[in-house]
Amino acid sequence: MKLSDLIARAGQLLHQAQAVVVLSGAGLSTPSGIPDFRSPGSGLWERVDPFEVASLTTFRHHPERFYQWVRPLAARILAAKPNAAHYTLAQLEATGKLRAVITQNIDRLHQRAGQRVVYEIHGSLDTATCGCCYRRFEAAEMMLAFIQEGTLPRCLHCGLILKPDVILMEEQLPHRVFEHARNAARQCDLMLVVGSSLEVMPAAGLPLEALNRGARLILVNYGATYLDERADVLIQADVAEVLPQMAKAAGLTDA
């Protein structure tokens, strides 16, 4: 089937849906200049062992190792701007059809595009927590100083190096946020997966929960996923190009 036909079919499903929920992954932000983690040849995990630089054990014993690795990524995130896909999703939310975005991304580009209901199941770099006194701090200025000067963020109370509120390897997802995400997935009648390879559990199980409760499924991702055969529409193309066309085909935007 031609790409234009797939977009038209996806637009039809989007038009018919009453409660849409989006699951977004790193592929949504690559058009904004933020590298993903698992793409062959270019993913961040192609060059390093994630357990060596981004695990909870590493952070507890060698936090400077984590910060050395994350510094260029944090700089990319700080410089990034939402792309057309982010803005399209925010427009869909404004129509009342899109109920929530569940994101695996830590860049907050959804919010910067105007999205209001966003469940960040892997956290973000906007806040950081002390592992000693458990105080939480707004981290924007600290992260900027770290990116520009290499100054490690430290607790203003006890001086310990702060851990950004992103989910590391070996770390559990934030329970309350994930339960909100799961409830949204269970209540939608259309799940739209954009830019996710669906390889990381438990996030990868959310579309299956939606399917098992009768929801339709649209997958927009360059690579294959374990749910490709169950998708009502499968589009392997650039999300920043496809989503605006899909929303237009649904009659929900003019762009």
SS3 6: helix
Active site residue 110: no
Distance CA 143, CA 150 (A): 9
The pairs formed by 138-147 with CB atoms below 8 angstroms and a separation of 24 or more are 139/164, 139/165, 143/74, 143/78, 144/78, 146/67, 146/71, 146/74, 147/71, 147/74, 147/75, 147/78
SS3 of 59-81 = HHHCHHHHHHHHHHHHHHHHHCC
**Candidate list 122, 157, 175, 180, residue with the active-site label:** 122
| Residues marked as catalytic | 122
